[in-house]
């Protein structure tokens, strides 16, 4: 009798240890909740402090990629492009290392929750990594290195195409468009033509998923390049389709340069957790299923006006990250749901089996199972909601530019000056501006 | 009581085991000549092998004999730009350094410093003009002009299927006569690597 009491005591102790371990494993808050203090600093247009906040946070090994991606983005917001690219390189290596499916992590994900898996990024995030690395190189005026990124994005997109050839999300319009611009900068016109053409096709494919306008800049680039490489038929077809004539385009030999401003507008949608909890009326056991969903940020800034003393132009959206992220999750949701339901069944059965041996143990297993159920709300949160582009052709020289951010009514919400921007003859000068408004809805 | 004791002993053992497996950085010295392929990317071995083989080929070709018999002196060569057109951030500088080393050490050609290095040397000469003793001063306008310039590209083609990648590197080098733009030698070296990434990990 005594012996039996000891035995169950040790068992209970073990269960307590197990519970404690699991709680440690599961953590209490979801990943996206930890982003609020960083977002606060970004809304104050203070990426340096945001960086300090990020560095102070705890980064579990499985979330290392997100730490690196956020760090790289904050570094580029502080115009430290070289350091940003070093961080992106680490992120690339991490993705390569963890590309293989882990047996232990899959098992843990099946028993506890999806956050036990090492995060390797969604296709969109993996593509954007190369896009931002390329932009960093362009801003450092190293087009040759940006070209390497353009080729790497090509490899990545080919992989995506192999994995799901039918999905429109396997093509990324802006990655292609930027590649085209890089090839054109280096005088590789036929490669540029191919990239522009693929960008155009990608915009068309994405237009079937969500509302989008094909940027007029791309239409002009396509026309100009078709003309340049001597594709007369294609040139005529495109001309009648776009209803644009190129006559007004200044001769490239006049020695004009061009400013390409990229507005990284707002913040990408944030993943939240949606849980359904219920009590099984028969056994009184708790059941919970948690799934992630995207919460889009309100669109406070819809466009921007870039002007010099004599000229002005408006931005055009080139990448709708918010919509693409939403579409990506929607495509993955059936698999995530199936896993969550299978997990709920497993946890229920585990609690029942434990309960057969010992009531207390059954209750504990049930509680652990209930608490450990958590949706995977991890995503690259410092990505913008969308990327917009504005281009100005200017004579060589130094310019002071004014950038006015406009709301949906066309009212100026925020004005900033970009001073001493140097334009060289026959060259494109790339500049980025990140703007994060204060979103009141964010928790 | 005994059983409880055994459990805690087991737990301690597990903790110690976990602790042991987590620590210990291993360092192993390896020879510079040894080949270690980690990720399948362009590495030091590729750079060294390609430069050595290509320069050996270049020096064995008839253009050098022709030049030497006509001018009664060794040709002077300079390395121009080697463009990286591959899909990797290849450090072109180490490759160019490998080429320079292979050429200088062959003793078959005279080698001229690159344009960046020349700037620094010219600054030094200018400085000597002001500060150095008369008999040690080096005059300006005595530089050796190069006869040939070596230019090139590094290209890649990637083919893949699932987790297997076939990486094909092609390095092209051209030796161009500075007098009349004649291309006197074209070298090409190809490397093929089959990279298989595991589908599963622990």
Using a CB–CB cutoff of 8 Å, tell me whether B122 touches chain A: no
Bridge partners of A278, per DSSP, are A287
- To the nearest 10 degrees (0 to 180), the angle between helices A64-77 and A47-56 is 160
Better-predicted residue by pLDDT, A7 or A144: A144
Q: Check if the beta carbon of residue A405 is closer than 8 Å to that of residue A412.
A: yes
Cβ contacts of B3 on chain A, cutoff 8 Å = 6-7, 10
Cβ contacts of B40 on chain A, cutoff 8 Å = none
From the CA of A219, how many Å to the nearest CA of chain B?
Answer: 27
- Residue A175 CB coordination number (10 Å): 26
Widest Cα–Cα separation across chain A = 100
Which has the minimum average pLDDT: A23-27, A37-41, A92-96, A432-436?
Answer: A23-27
Q: How high is the pLDDT of residue A19?
A: 56
- Please provide the size of chain B in residues: 202
Cβ contacts of A183 on chain B, cutoff 8 Å = none
Mean pLDDT of A358-381: 87
Alpha-carbon span A247 to B125, nearest angstrom: 54
A86-143, pLDDT tens digit by residue?
A: 999 999 999 988 888 888 888 888 788 888 888 999 999 999 999 999 999 999 999 9
Q: Check if the beta carbon of residue A400 is closer than 8 Å to that of residue A419.
A: yes
Using a CB–CB cutoff of 8 Å, tell me whether B7 touches chain A: yes
Alpha-carbon span A414 to B183, nearest angstrom: 58
Mean confidence (pLDDT) of chain A: 88
Q: Check if the beta carbon of residue B88 is closer than 8 Å to that of residue B42.
A: yes
Using a CB–CB cutoff of 8 Å, tell me whether B197 touches chain A: yes
Better-predicted residue by pLDDT, A277 or A270: A270
From the CA of A369, how many Å to the nearest CA of chain B?
Answer: 23
Q: How high is the pLDDT of residue A244?
A: 81
What are the backbone angles phi and psi of residue A60, rounded to the nearest 5°? Answer: -60, 155
Q: Which of residues 24-83 of B touch A (CB under 8 A)?
A: 39, 83
Cβ contacts of A10 on chain B, cutoff 8 Å = 3-4, 7
- Among B2, B11, B81, B89, the residue to mutate for chain A (most A Cβ within 10 A): B89
Alpha-carbon span A369 to B98, nearest angstrom: 60
CA distances (Å), origin A20, targets A181, A352, A363, A421, B115: 54, 20, 15, 57, 66
Q: A50: alpha, beta or left, given left = phi > 0 and alpha = psi -120 to 50?
A: alpha
- Residue B2 CB coordination number (10 Å): 8
Alpha-carbon span A389 to A387, nearest angstrom: 7
Model confidence at A24: pLDDT above 60: no
CA distances (Å), origin A403, targets A208, A305, A314, A419: 32, 6, 10, 11
What are the backbone angles phi and psi of residue B194, rounded to the nearest 5°? Answer: -105, 115
Among candidate residues B12, B5, B101, B126, the one with its CA nearest the CA of residue B50: B101
Q: Check if the beta carbon of residue B83 is closer than 8 Å to that of residue B154.
A: yes
Q: Which of residues 96-125 of A touch B (CB under 8 A)?
A: 96, 98-104
A41-97, pLDDT tens digit by residue?
A: 999 999 999 999 999 998 888 899 999 999 999 999 999 999 999 999 999 999 988
Kindly identify which residue of chain B lies nearest to residue A101, measuring between CA atoms: B200
A148-163, pLDDT tens digit by residue?
A: 999 999 999 998 898 8
From the CA of A163, how many Å to the nearest CA of chain B?
Answer: 8
- Residue A8 CB coordination number (10 Å): 13
Asked if A154's CB is within 8 angstroms of B4's CB, the reply is: no
Asked if B199's CB is within 8 angstroms of A6's CB, the reply is: no
From the CA of B90, how many Å to the nearest CA of chain A?
Answer: 9
Using a CB–CB cutoff of 8 Å, tell me whether A86 touches chain B: no
Whole-complex ipTM? 0.74
Cβ contacts of A94 on chain B, cutoff 8 Å = none
Cβ contacts of B201 on chain A, cutoff 8 Å = 98, 100-103
Q: How high is the pLDDT of residue B123?
A: 92
Task: Give the A:B interface size as CB pairs under 8 Å.
Answer: 58
Q: How high is the pLDDT of residue A374?
A: 85
Alpha-carbon span A420 to A308, nearest angstrom: 11
Profile chain B (202 residues) by mean pLDDT over runs of 10 residues.
Answer: 50 51 61 70 86 89 91 91 91 87 87 86 91 90 91 91 87 93 93 84 78
What are the backbone angles phi and psi of residue A155, rounded to the nearest 5°? Answer: -60, -45
Q: How high is the pLDDT of residue A258?
A: 92
Q: How high is the pLDDT of residue A23?
A: 53
Mean pLDDT of A321-342: 92
Q: Check if the beta carbon of residue A115 is closer than 8 Å to that of residue A62.
A: yes
Alpha-carbon span B137 to A439, nearest angstrom: 70
Alpha-carbon span B195 to B97, nearest angstrom: 27
Alpha-carbon span A339 to A110, nearest angstrom: 7
- To the nearest 10 degrees (0 to 180), the angle between helices A2-26 and B2-22 is 30
What are the backbone angles phi and psi of residue A427, rounded to the nearest 5°? Answer: -125, 155
Alpha-carbon span B86 to B90, nearest angstrom: 8
Using a CB–CB cutoff of 8 Å, tell me whether B89 touches chain A: yes
Residues 6+ away with beta carbon under 8 Å from A369 = A286, A347, A348, A350, A351
- Percent of chain A at pLDDT above 90? 59
pLDDT band at A3 (very low <50, low <70, confident <90, very high): very low
- To the nearest 10 degrees (0 to 180), the angle between helices A321-357 and A123-139 is 140
Model confidence at A291: pLDDT above 50: yes
Alpha-carbon span B50 to B190, nearest angstrom: 8
Model confidence at A13: pLDDT above 90: no
How many H-runs (helices) and E-runs (strands) does chain A carry?
14, 11
Alpha-carbon span A131 to A83, nearest angstrom: 16
Q: Check if the beta carbon of residue A272 is closer than 8 Å to that of residue A32.
A: yes
Using a CB–CB cutoff of 8 Å, tell me whether B156 touches chain A: yes
Alpha-carbon span B127 to B130, nearest angstrom: 5
- Among A144, A156, A187, the residue to mutate for chain B (most B Cβ within 10 A): A144
Q: Which of A13, A93, A101 sits opposite B200 (nearest CB)?
A: A101
Among candidate residues B147, B110, B143, the one with its CA nearest the CA of residue B125: B143
From the CA of B126, how many Å to the nearest CA of chain A?
Answer: 32
Alpha-carbon span A123 to A131, nearest angstrom: 12
Alpha-carbon span A243 to A262, nearest angstrom: 26
Mean pLDDT of A235-248: 82
User: What is this structure's pTM?
Assistant: 0.85
Better-predicted residue by pLDDT, A252 or A256: A256
Cβ contacts of A9 on chain B, cutoff 8 Å = 4
Q: Which of B4, B199, B200 sits opposite A6 (nearest CB)?
A: B4
CA distances (Å), origin B191, targets A42, A305, B52, B156: 47, 50, 14, 9
Asked if A145's CB is within 8 angstroms of B89's CB, the reply is: yes
């Amino acid at each position: 009798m005594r012996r039996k009491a000891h035995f169950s005591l040790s068992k209970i102790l073990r269960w307590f240890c197990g519970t404690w371990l699991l709680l440690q494993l599961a953590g209490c808050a979801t990943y996206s909740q930890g982003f609020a203090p960083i977002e606060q600093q970004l809304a104050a247009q203070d990426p340096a402090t945001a960086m300090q906040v990020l560095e102070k946070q705890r980064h579990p090994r499985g979330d290392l990629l997100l730490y690196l991606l956020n760090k790289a983005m904050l570094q580029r917001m502080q115009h430290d492009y070289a350091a940003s690219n070093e961080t992106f390189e680490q992120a690339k290596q991490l993705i390569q290392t963890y590309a293989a499916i882990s047996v232990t992590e899959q098992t843990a994900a099946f028993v506890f929750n999806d956050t036990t898996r090492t995060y390797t990024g969604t296709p969109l995030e993996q593509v954007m990594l190369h896009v931002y690395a390329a932009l960093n190189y362009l801003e450092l005026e190293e087009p040759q290195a940006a070209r390497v990124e353009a080729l790497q994005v090509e490899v990545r997109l080919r992989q995506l195409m192999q994995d799901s050839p039918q999905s429109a999300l396997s093509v990324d319009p802006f990655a292609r468009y930027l590649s085209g611009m890089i090839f054109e900068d280096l005088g590789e016109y036929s490669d540029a033509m191919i990239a522009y053409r693929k960008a155009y096709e990608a915009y068309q494919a994405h237009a079937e998923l969500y509302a989008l306008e094909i940027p007029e800049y791309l239409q002009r680039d396509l026309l100009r390049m078709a003309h340049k490489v001597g594709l007369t038929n294609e040139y005529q077809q495109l001309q009648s389709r776009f209803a644009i004539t190129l006559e007004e385009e200044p001769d490239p030999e006049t020695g004009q340069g061009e400013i390409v401003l990229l507005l990284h507008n707002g913040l990408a949608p944030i993943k939240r957790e949606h849980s359904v909890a219920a009590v099984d009326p028969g056994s009184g056991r708790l059941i919970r299923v948690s799934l992630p969903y995207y919460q889009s940020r309100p669109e406070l800034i819809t466009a921007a006006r870039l002007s010099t003393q004599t000229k002005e132009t408006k931005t055009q959206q080139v990448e709708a990250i918010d919509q693409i992220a939403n579409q990506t999750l929607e495509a993955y949701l059936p698999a995530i749901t199936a896993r969550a339901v299978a997990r709920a069944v497993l946890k229920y059965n585990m609690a029942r089996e434990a309960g057969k041996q010992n009531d207390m143990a059954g209750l504990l297993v049930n509680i652990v199972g209930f608490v450990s159920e958590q949706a995977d709300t991890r995503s690259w949160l410092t990505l913008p909601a969308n990327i917009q582009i504005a281009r100005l052709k200017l004579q060589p020289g130094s310019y002071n530019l004014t950038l006015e951010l406009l709301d949906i009514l066309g009212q100026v919400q925020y004005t900033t000056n970009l001073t001493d921007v140097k334009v060289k003859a026959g060259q494109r000068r790339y500049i980025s501006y990140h703007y994060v408004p204060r979103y009141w809805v964010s928790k | 009581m005994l059983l409880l004791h055994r459990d805690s002993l087991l737990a301690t053992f597990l903790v110690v085991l976990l602790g042991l497996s987590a620590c210990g950085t291993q360092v192993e010295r390896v020879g510079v000549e040894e080949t270690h392929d980690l990720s399948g990317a362009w590495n030091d071995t590729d750079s060294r092998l390609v430069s050595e083989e290509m320069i050996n080929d270049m020096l064995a070709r008839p253009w050098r004999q022709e030049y030497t018999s006509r001018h009664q002196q060794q040709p002077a060569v300079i390395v121009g730009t080697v463009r990286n057109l591959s899909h990797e951030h290849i450090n072109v500088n180490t490759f160019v350094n490998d080429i320079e080393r292979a050429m200088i050490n062959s003793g078959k050609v005279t080698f001229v410093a690159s344009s960046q290095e020349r700037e620094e040397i010219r600054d030094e000469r200018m400085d000597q003009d002001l500060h150095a003793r008369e008999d040690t001063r080096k005059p300006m306008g005595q530089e050796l002009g190069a006869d040939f310039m070596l230019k090139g590209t590094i290209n890649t083609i990637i083919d893949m299927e699932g987790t297997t990648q076939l990486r094909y590197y092609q390095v092209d080098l051209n030796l161009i006569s500075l007098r009349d733009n004649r291309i006197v030698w074209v070298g090409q070296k190809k490397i093929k690597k089959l990279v298989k990434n595991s589908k599963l990990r622990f």
